[in-house]
Amino acid sequence: MATISDIARQANVSRTLVSRVLNNKAGVSPENRKKILEIIEENHYVPNSLAKSLVLQKTNTIGVVMDDLCNSFFFKLIAGLQDAAESHGYNILFCSGQKDMATRLKYVDYLTGGCTDGIIAYGSCFDDNELFRYLAAKSANSVLIESNLSDCATDKILLDNFHGAYTATEHLIRQGRRHIIHVTCDMNYAVGLERLNGFVQAMRDYKMPLGPDSILYADHFEKIAYQQMQKRLAHGTRPDACFVGADKPAFGVLRAAMEAGLSIPGDLAVIGFDDDEPDSKDMLFPPLSTMRQPLYEMGQAGVSLLIDKMNHSDREPVVKSFDAELVLRETCK
In the complex, least distance from residue 40 CB atom to DNA, rounded to whole angstroms:
10
Q: Where on the chain is the footprint of a copy of itself (CB under 8 A)?
A: 1, 44, 46-51, 53-54, 59, 61, 69-70, 72, 75, 78-79, 82-83, 86, 91-96, 98, 103, 106-107, 109-110, 112-115, 137-138, 277, 280-281, 283-284
In the complex, least distance from residue 44 CB atom to DNA, rounded to whole angstroms:
12
Residue 220's nearest CA partner among 73, 80, 93 is 73
Cα separation, 134 vs 118, in Å, equals 14
In the complex, least distance from residue 292 CB atom to DNA, rounded to whole angstroms:
44
Residue number with CB closer to DNA (32 or 214):
32
Phi-psi region of 25 (alpha: psi -120 to 50; beta: other; left: phi over 0): beta
Residue number with CB closer to DNA (6 or 83):
6
- The answer to whether residues 251 and 285 touch, using CB atoms and an 8 Å cutoff, is yes
175 burial level (CB within 10 Å; 0-12, 13-18, 19+): middle
Residue number with CB closer to DNA (51 or 153):
51
Q: Which one of a copy of itself, DNA, none interacts with residue 22, CB within 5 to 8 A by kind?
A: DNA
In the complex, least distance from residue 221 CB atom to DNA, rounded to whole angstroms:
44
Q: Where on the chain is the footprint of DNA (CB under 7 A)?
A: 1, 3-5, 12-17, 19-20, 22-23, 25-29, 31-32, 47-48, 51-52, 54-57, 114
DSSP 215: E
Q: Which one of DNA, a copy of itself, none interacts with residue 313, CB within 5 to 8 A by kind?
A: none
Cα separation, 36 vs 41, in Å, equals 9
Residues recorded for the chain: 333
Residue 322's nearest CA partner among 271, 274, 272, 270 is 274
Cα separation, 323 vs 325, in Å, equals 6
Q: Which one of a copy of itself, DNA, none interacts with residue 135, CB within 5 to 8 A by kind?
A: none
Residue number with CB closer to a copy of itself (51 or 328):
51
